[in-house]
Structure 1
Amino acid sequence: MARKQSDYLAALLDDEAAAPSPAPPERVRGTTLLGRESALARVASGEVRQVTQLLLDPARVRIWPGNARSYAHLTEAGCRELIDSIIAEGGQKVPAVVRRIEGDAAHDYEVIAGTRRHWSISWLRANNYPEMRFVAQVATLDDEAAFRLADLENRARADVSDLERARNYAAALKTHYGNHATRMAERLKLSKGWLSKMLKVAALPDAIVAAFASPAEVQLKPGYALAQALDDPAASAAITAEAKHLVEEQAALREDGLPPLPASEVLRCLLAAPHRHIAAPVPIVCTTPHGRTALSVQSVGRQGVTVRLHAGSGVGPDELAGMLRHALGELERQGRGLQR
């Protein structure tokens, strides 16, 4: 964590403890006793505040819901480096920050900063290290201060996505700052313009976000451009329609065990949609003179066109070939033809 952020965190928690230096070996017992009495006097006067670190069972500690980090998305792979560090050092060395809670029979504390440490200790306890304890420092914080502390920790974390932080900010703006973005920016020591962009990205609809392989792929700069494009009602309709097709295509790729469309391609398709969008495509169904369905187009995507040949139509191969040519021509007219 950068020095500036570290200073801010210390000021926020207001719990720095200037512990007295250990006495040199040559000091006599009486001098040592006086040193201890002096240290106790400094604590009593408020000049020094005692900081207690607790060794907790992580099962008795819940995660504060105001944190941007998604606990459900933490994995062994994502926390592997931290897990290995804890094992190598014989335990957790950097304490998390928690606060006491009331009215929850299953938990005694909640994590404000240290979600990954909590997850990693929990994982270790369940995987051959039952003696591991969750090291935490208790702080007295209201929700707004807790939010600022959690945000400070998450800023340096690459595994907290821009979208997660943006939506966390949007919720905090209403909950902690009465929808006053200027006040929020001042309290978080952020640029108002940058915060405004984050709040804009937070408003991206879930239907649009679902077009990406993962919400974590929605980054600030491209996400802001996409959010701006959605301000136009006509463009919004086109982008939403394109997002629906992309969701279906991503699902098909997953089902086939293929890599998902990259974020850059998804973004390109979404932003280009308003410029090529036309009326809703007409279903393509070819029937016999007797009204029986012989051929129909089931789906159209970047991977190809799925066509169904219906049994019992009484149509021969030559007629089906003609229907297929007709269907492909209709797809071209609708702007959904095969890319050559």
Structure 2
Amino acid sequence: MMAGFIRDILTTLSYEPGRAGADQQAAMTRLDDRLTSFADTAAHSGAPLLLRAADCAVWDGNPRDQPALNAESCRSLIESIATEGGNRIPALVRLNPPGADLPYQLLVGSRRRFAINWLNHNGRPELRLSALIVDMSDEEAFRLADIENRERADICELDRARSYQDAVDRFYGGVQSRMAEALSLSNSQLSRLLALAQLPQEVVDAFATRAELKVRYSELLTPLLRRPEQRADMIAEARRIGAEQQSLAAQDERMIPSATVLARLREAAAPRHRDEARDLPIILDGDRIGRVRAGKNGGLAIDLQIADDADIDALLATLRTALLRTRNSASQ
């Protein structure tokens, strides 16, 4: 009966990212209500068990950012569980293989597990996690966790995108179309999410929080990052912004807003004008090692910063390419 119940959830609940509203909220309500109803009416071996929260390791395929869970973000849930004497909506767990450190692996219900574990250490040691034990594959567990987490406010688009990036290889053999079909996504929707996951870490760190980095930003930045010279300039600017963000955070000052970060990154990739059109970076092995610029009396000037162990032949070939590129851009 439990297996049929889970298969029914996976079959009848679907997801269209970016489509927030009453229908999405209704889908979440149906999932929570189904778990609660099943737990309330089950009169068989599939009825919920009361487990110690500390006996449940969170499955590593869950998209939720576990370190981000804290007493403040879970405050209302903690208060609700404390008042009701437990979690009304059961979590879903499966048995860990023999020899594992903990007996259970938590698939759905990370916030409930956190809340009860927090209460166990803060005056309510008697509380236990109400959970249903299920038997499902990793791919099914991923889909179910995605259904449970997809519209939670504390799971940002970047965390979900990175979980998708991991899942496409882990569960779908690297075939995006298979994953898109399994999650009821279009190929374009999935591609946009995966592009977000592939943004350089320097760009991610330029934003005040990961939650501020949206799919729509990735759609603007990804095409610019595909050109080596623009990529180098954007990453250099992203590093500068990231350093500024860290300094502001250390002084407890207002961070640079996401719209400003986006504008600065796009400006760094903008084409140069007049003599600046001939001021182009020299890229070697993905790193900017110098630039070719307009000389004071015409011609070209070169600025280089070369490591002691630099490959001279590769450097000369790179320099020749940069000179030709600069000369061609000046003649256009």
What's the TM-score once normalised by structure 2's chain length?
Answer: 0.70
Which position in structure 2 is the counterpart of 1:162? 157
**For residues 1-340 of structure 1, what are the structure 2 equivalents within 5 Å?**
2-4=25-27, 50-275=45-270
What's the TM-score once normalised by structure 1's chain length?
Answer: 0.68
Cα distance change, pair 196–66 in 1 and its aligned pair in 2 (3 A): same
Cα distance change, pair 9–121 in 1 and its aligned pair in 2 (3 A): closer
Preserved CA contact (<8 Å) 1:173 1:180: yes
SS of structure 1 residue aligned to 2:46: coil
Offset, 1:135? 1.1
SS of structure 2 residue aligned to 1:128: coil
Q: Which runs of 5+ in 1 are unaligned?
A: 21-38, 40-48, 282-340
| Misfit runs of 4+, over 6 Å | 6-11
Offset, 1:227? 2.1
Preserved CA contact (<8 Å) 1:166 1:202: yes
Quote the Cα distance in structure 2 between the aligned partners of 1:96 and 1:126. 20
Quote the Cα distance in structure 1 between the aligned partners of 2:196 and 2:112. 29
SS of structure 1 residue aligned to 2:269: helix
Deviations along 1:83-114, one digit per CA (max 9) or x if unpaired, are 11112222111100111111344301111110
Q: Which has the larger radius of gyration?
A: 1
Quote the Cα distance in structure 2 between the aligned partners of 1:70 and 1:104. 26
Quote the Cα distance in structure 1 between the aligned partners of 2:184 and 2:28. 10
Cα distance change, pair 19–123 in 1 and its aligned pair in 2 (3 A): closer
Offset, 1:9? 9.2
Quote the Cα distance in structure 2 between the aligned partners of 1:6 and 1:189. 19
Cα distance change, pair 228–154 in 1 and its aligned pair in 2 (3 A): farther
Preserved CA contact (<8 Å) 1:17 1:50: no
Q: How many residue pairs get matched?
A: 252
Which position in structure 2 is the counterpart of 1:295? none
Deviations along 1:257-302, one digit per CA (max 9) or x if unpaired, are 2121111211111111112776689xxxxxxxxxxxxxxxxxxxxx
Cα distance change, pair 260–122 in 1 and its aligned pair in 2 (3 A): same
| Sequence identity percentage | 37
Preserved CA contact (<8 Å) 2:39 2:47: no
By relative contact order (CA 8 Å, sep 6+), the higher-ranking structure is 2
